[in-house]
Structure 1
Amino acid sequence: HRDVNLRVIYGPSQSLRKQIEEGAPVDIFLPSLFEEIDQLEAKGLIIQGTKRTFAATSLVLITGTTLPAPVSSIQDLQTTPIHRIAVGDPKTSSVGKVAAQFLKYSKLEPKLKSQYVLGEHSRAVLELVAKGEAEIGVVYRTDAVPNSAVRILDTAPVASHTPIRYGVAVAWTAQNISAAGDFIEFLLSHTTQTLLEDLGFDHVSPEAGVPQREEVKP
């Protein structure tokens, strides 16, 4: 598409959604939270049939590479004492909300809550673990994979939290619906999906745009 001039607008997902609601000339919407697309869809503000999942990730338990924790799995947390666990603040981060779901589901919250060290976002959690200020942490796999200062210990069960997925849709204000559709197909192509997998994302089916992940430990 040499004739297509691509302009990328960055910003918080909620702010971008509000701009689309107000009629901003946007062709494609790629928010960090899939729910932002759902909100637009509920108001009839995306082109019908264009909402897809183009990427997904999982929640993982990590430790530092220099000061590793005395555990090797989520199961070990039931019996092995942990002094400090870094988690995202549920009030300020999506990873914190998902981590809270996982810890409650795993019945670890009562045992570990007094050891929580809250990070404002996923990068803050990574830094706490990398610097040894927390023995373990809970983050998205996509944040842990490229960070050489941390190591993945285990993966949270799929059923323990809401799906962590990234969506895309064509906005109602789109001026080039055909090119927007081609871009979505590009995101779901084998080439792009392979690149995303290398970065820690889960494989997504190009037919349905639904994440496909085996429940295995890293």
Structure 2
Amino acid sequence: MGNAKESSAKEGTAAGKSAKPDKFTFEDMRLKVGDRLQIQPPSRLSQERFFVKVIGYLHNVSLLVTAPMTPHGLRLQLIEGEKLVARIFSSQNAFGFACTIDKICKLPFDYLHLSFPSEVQGSQVRKAPRVKTKIIATVTTVAGESVPAVITNLSANGAMLDARRNLAEKGESIKLAFRINLHDIDAYLSVTAVVRALFADGAMDNGVTFVHHGLEFVNLQTNDSVILQSLIYQHMIEHPDTMI
């Protein structure tokens, strides 16, 4: 019994340290043309992170990406030989690698030749990562009533829905319709969800009380599932502070 307890304790300790980055190969990232990378430039330029797109690579030679641009549409003033850190979420992993700017090209458009990653680090994110959101939704209740609500956090498997009143009881199903923007393209989703949790906040400063509905999506269409997963990963890479 004592050994079993010690073993469990060790496993718990190991689980607590599972966030430590592991080493991966370039192929593990499954990079494709058009994939978005988050780039961290030298601190002399900015503390912000910028987004670029993969336009190609030659294995063990070079990785080609579009040049990072400022929010005002200006090219970031990088210098050949400077080091960058790149990050991407792919499948269930968050990857990162250091690279060097080998060449800055301006014709026929602005792009960079980056050194081919010699070491890729990564860590597994949970199966259903959840992000904070503020998405307006229309809920259709069991009684067929349409009610406005707000999705305050979202995963590929479910959501937290806030409304000014109780929209359903635990175990009941509701229909949820909402619009999202994925890579600058609007997508409209209509999904069925089961209420798994229900609780209310105290009155806010304006006197309004919100009821929180913990939802689990059911019978998701394949296309809707793909859109939700893509949206979650887009949020994770563009707004890492929204991860829950």
TM-score by shorter chain over 0.5: no
TM-score, L = length of structure 2? 0.24
Larger Rg: 2
Higher relative contact order (CA 8 A, sep 6+): 1
TM-score, L = length of structure 1? 0.26
Give the helix-richer structure, 1 or 2.
Answer: 1
